[in-house]
Amino acid sequence: MSMRFENAKEVYEQWGIDIEEAFTKVRRVSISVHCWQGDDLKGTEAVQNELSGGIEVTGNYPGRARDGNELRADLEKALSLIPGKHRVNLHAMYAETNGEFVERDQLKPEHFRKWVDWAKKLGIGLDFNPTVFGHPMAADGLTLAHPKDEIRKFWINHCKASRRIAAYFAEELGTASLVNLWVPDGFKDTPSDRLTPRKRLKESLDEIYAEEFDPKYVIDAVESKLFGIGSEAYVVGSHEFYMNYANQSGKLCLLDTGHFHPTEMVSNKLSAMLLFHSRVALHVSRPVRWDSDHVVTFDDELREITTELVRNNALERVNIGLDFFDASINRVAAWVIGTRNMKKALLYAALIPHNYLKELQDRGDFTSRLALQEQIKTFPFGDIWDEYCKRMGVATENEWLDVVQQYEKDVQFKREDEKVGS
C-alpha cells in the first residue's frame, strides 16, 4: 500500500469511515455492461436494417467491431480494465445465425450459443433485451401498441422468444437474466386518443408475461420514456404507465437516466420507488439536452444516484445497467470510462459519513450538513480509488488508457484494412 493511500485513509477514518468495509461493499456490485457501445448498434443479424425508434449513433471513429467475434474481443478487453466481476447485456439483434435469415419472432437459444460459451469462459452472466426497433414492422413508430393485430402479434412473439432465450442464459450460466422491455411507440404530434394505444400496450404485455418463469431464471423489467425523435408529443409507455404496470404485475420498473425531462433527476425518484417496489432497475446514461446517451461521466447526478443507493442500503435491491453509445471516440475506451465511473461513484458514495449527515438533518443543523457535504468533495478520493483498482488487479486511473491505445493500434485500427473473418 502506498503512502498516499495511507494518508488518504486517515482523512476518511477521522469521520468514522471504514475503507475496507467500503471496498467489500462495492466489490459485491455487478454492472450490466451493454454490448451495443462496441458496434454502434449495428447488430449481427443476417439482414441489417436502419436504426429507428428515435435512436441515433453519431461519429465515425475507426475500429468498430464488425461481427460477434470482434465485439466479444473488444468487450473482453474492456472488462479486463474494469474492477470487479460484471455482466454483459445483449439485444436480440446480436443473434448469430451463420448467415441464415431468421426473423425476430423465430429466434431461439441456439442463435446465442457463442455468447453463452464466451460468458462461461469469463464466468459472467448475460442479460437480454428484445429489439423492438430497427425493423420494417416498426417503420411507423408503433409496435406492441399498433392497431394492426398482425404487427402487434409479431412483436408479442418476439418478446416471448426473448424471454425464453434469457431463461436459457440463466440455466447455462447459473445466474438470473434480466429481460428489459422498451418499445418506441408514440406519435410525433398531438394524438387524438391517448388511452387506446395504452390499452393495447397493456394487453400486449399481459400476453407476453402470461408465460411464467421462475425469477431465479428470468427477471422482467419494463422501461419508460418521456419522448423520442419522431414521438415528441406522446409516448405510449410513459413513466406513469410502466410504474403502475410494474406495481400491478410484479415486474421491475426500469428507470433510464436519459428518459425524463431534463429537469427531472432519477436520483430524486429512487427513494420513492424503493418504498413501493421490492426491486428497481436502472439504465445509467448521460443525456445532453435530450436522450443522447453520452458516455457516463463522474458527474453530480451519477454521484447522487449512487449516494441514494448506498445510504438507503439498496445496493442488493437495484439492478444496475448502462446504456450509452458514442462512435466519436474509441469504443473500448467508452466502455472503460463509463463503467469505471459507475464503480467509482459507488465507492465515492460508500465513503460518505451518511449516518452523521442524517443526524445533522434530523436535528435541523443544515449549516453543518451543507458544510460537510462540500468538504467531502475535496477529500483525497483518487488515492482510495487507485488502491481499490490495484487490489482488484486492474490498471489505475493513470494506466488504463495506455492499454486501450495499444489495443487500438494492434487490433482495432487494423480492421480498417481487413475483411471480416480474414
| Annotated catalytic residue 323 | yes
| Annotated catalytic residue within 256, 326, 386, 387 | 256
| Annotated catalytic residue within 239, 259, 343, 344 | 259
Which letter does DSSP use for residue 412 in this model? I
| Annotated catalytic residue 354 | no
pLDDT one-digit tens code per residue, 98-138: 999 999 999 999 999 999 999 999 999 999 999 999 999 99
Contacts of residue 34, defined as CB under 8 A and 6 or more positions apart, other chains included, come to: 88, 89, 321, 322, 323, 324, 325
| Annotated catalytic residue 153 | no
State yes or no: pLDDT of 420 exceeds 60. Answer: no
Angle at CA 257, nearest 5°, toward 255 and 259?
Answer: 80
| Annotated catalytic residue 291 | yes
| Annotated catalytic residue within 45, 70, 172, 223 | 223
| Annotated catalytic residue 293 | yes
The stretch 342-352 carries a mean pLDDT of 98
| Annotated catalytic residue within 291, 308, 387, 408 | 291
| Annotated catalytic residue 36 | no
| Annotated catalytic residue 259 | yes
| Annotated catalytic residue 188 | no
Which letter does DSSP use for residue 299 in this model? -
| Annotated catalytic residue within 39, 293, 308, 383 | 293
Which letter does DSSP use for residue 89 in this model? E
User: Residue 217 has which C-alpha cell?
Assistant: 431464471
State yes or no: pLDDT of 172 exceeds 60. Answer: yes
> Could you tell me which residues are beta bridge partners of residue 255?
282
**Which H/E stretch holds residue 254?**
strand 252-256
pLDDT one-digit tens code per residue, 21-71: 999 999 999 999 999 999 998 999 887 766 565 667 778 899 999 999 999
Q: Alpha-carbon torsion 384, 381, 373, 286, what sign? A: negative
pLDDT category, 422, cuts 50, 70, 90? very low
* Percent with pLDDT over 90 in the chain: 91
State yes or no: pLDDT of 236 exceeds 60. Answer: yes
| Annotated catalytic residue within 9, 158, 225, 251 | 225
State yes or no: pLDDT of 421 exceeds 70. Answer: no
User: Residue 126 has which C-alpha cell?
Assistant: 448475460
Report how far Cα 362 is from the mean position of its chain's Cα atoms. 35
> Could you tell me which residues are beta bridge partners of residue 221?
180, 252
Cβ–Cβ under 8 Å, residues 246 and 252: yes
User: Residue 292 has which C-alpha cell?
Assistant: 443522447
| Annotated catalytic residue within 40, 127, 220, 323 | 323
Domains and CATH numbers, the chain: 30-350 (3.20.20.150)
| Annotated catalytic residue 223 | yes
Q: How many CB atoms lie within 10 A of CB 411?
A: 15
The stretch 167-187 carries a mean pLDDT of 98
Distances (CA, A) of 26 to 19, 85, 340: 11, 11, 12
Q: How buried is residue 34: exposed, middle or buried, by Cβ count under 10 Å (0-12/13-18/19+)?
A: buried
